Amino acid sequence: MVSLLPEGDLDIIDTGLTLSYLVQNLRSRNPNSIEIMAMFRKPEAVTCPLDVKYVGFDIPNEFVVGYGLDYADKYRNLTDVATLAPHVYKS
């Protein structure tokens, strides 16, 4: 198994555009298999169909921070995952 993320990083499937590109690129190299897993998925935001084998949690289409997820290099060290108030990032 090969992971595209450094050990311990969490990932979110948002629109799926980046992941869709990566899967297409990897498939062009004829691997035996490709399996996608993500800690979080925002089903309402997905615009590209992806065959995701493992999903930790489906979450609302909101900006989330904490537990390694950040906004402008802030909130990464929170011990919980939380939604960020829109006035913080919509200024």
Residues annotated as catalytic are: 14
CA dist 70 and 77 (Å) reads 8
CA 44 to chain centre: 13
CA dist 24 and 72 (Å) reads 30
Question: What residue has token string 């979080």?
Answer: 40
CB 82 within 8 A of CB 74: no
